[in-house]
Amino acid sequence: MTDIAIRTEGRAGRITLTRAGALNALTWDMVRRIEDALTAWRHDDAVALVIIDAAGPKAFCAGGDIAEMYATGTAGDYGYGRRFWRDEYRVNAMIAGYDKPIVAFMQGFVMGGGVGIGCHARHRIVCDTTRVALPECGIGLVPDVGSSLLLARAPGRLGEYLGLTGDRMDAGDAIHAGFADVMVPQDQWPALIDSLCATGETDTIAGAARPAPQSKLAAWQGDIDRVFAAPDLATIRSQPEAVPPAPIAHALALMDRNAPLSMACALHIIRAVRDTPTIHTALAQEFRFTFRSMEQADFLEGIRAALIDRDRTPHWQHGDWNVPAAQIAALTAPLGPDALTPET
């Protein structure tokens, strides 16, 4: 079986990730094939909508396949990762602005690159197994693939919370935070997909929706908003209460595992995108960091600790959360001729 199945069925263009054994992690070839399919269907009158789904029960897509980035980056070749991200981000922008409805069916893990191909779709369907997360700060990166736009648009300060903690959202959380639209029981997905393919209309999605679980993030909103409105990472860490409320204790425990430099830069990016909330602003801001991440940030060390040696003991550049403003500015500064533009 190949890593991706692309075909048309009735009125629908179908994209199915079939790399279930690798949690449908995106390879560069998969990214290119998605782009080719969306480009071809854009002007194909026989295709009324596009459906993106994935094989296997465990994951819609658990992220990007970054093993080759580590191999090339540790050899001093930063170009491979930069080219991959440039192509991937172009596809994320295409999905966000596609002129035909895209319907994403997202089960299991939806992380990193999975957010980029699923959560920018016009119709985003989740189920009881869905777990959406942006864990990039845990490997020395920042939430990317346009996710900073979703984070910037999330209610209150949930964007800062989700981007810095990498906490997992269930269906109720994902809908509340703006990463999904409706919950449909997974056993009803085949019938709904058949209807979409037969009619080319998305009206049946609303009728298939069922109530989602109550969002824990909605219940935590007050505490999150108070703490994550702080001006910088160090202030978020310094809680006024002797014993912080349970949601914040939970958040700080998650953040203690992440790269302080990544969290500080993610905080900057989310707030910059909130000022100009477009997909192109988000991707351009993210690319400033990812372009420099192997050479100047903790990305290679994060991959080593999590995926190569698996010792779970990364040696971050900063031992505490007092990240110099000058370093944040350097990693998020404009790239000049290397900048990501809507055309690249």
Task: State pLDDT tens for residues 84-131.
Answer: 999 999 999 999 999 999 999 999 999 999 999 999 999 999 999 999
Which residues on neighbouring strands pair with residue 50, listed in sequence order?
Answer: 13, 102
What whole-number distance in Å separates Cα of residue 128 and Cα of residue 14?
23
Q: For 257, which DSSP code?
A: T
Rounded average pLDDT over 154-181: 98
pTM: 0.97
Please determine, for residue 289, whether its predicted confidence score (pLDDT) is greater than 60. yes
pLDDT in tens, 204-253: 999 999 999 999 999 999 999 999 999 999 999 887 665 678 899 999 99
What percent of the chain has pLDDT above 90? 94
What whole-number distance in Å separates Cα of residue 36 and Cα of residue 7?
12
Please determine, for residue 344, whether its predicted confidence score (pLDDT) is greater than 70. no
- Which residue ranges form the domains of the chain, and what is each CATH number? 1-344 (3.90.226.10)
What whole-number distance in Å separates Cα of residue 148 and Cα of residue 290?
13
Rounded average pLDDT over 57-81: 94
Query: Which helix (DSSP H) or strand (DSSP E) does residue 104 occupy?
Result: strand 102-106
- The residue with tokens 């310094």 is 238
- What integer pLDDT is reported at residue 342 of this predicted model? 77
| 3-state SS assignment for residue 42 | helix
337, amino acid identity: P
What whole-number distance in Å separates Cα of residue 327 and Cα of residue 264?
10
CA–CA distance from 238 to each of 156, 211, 235, 320, 327 (Å)?
A: 20, 38, 5, 12, 21
- What integer pLDDT is reported at residue 2 of this predicted model? 82
User: Residues of 280-300 as b/e, b for ≥16 C-beta within 10 angstroms?
Assistant: bbbbbbbbbbbbbbbeebbbb
Of 119, 39, 32, the closest CA to residue 13 belongs to 39
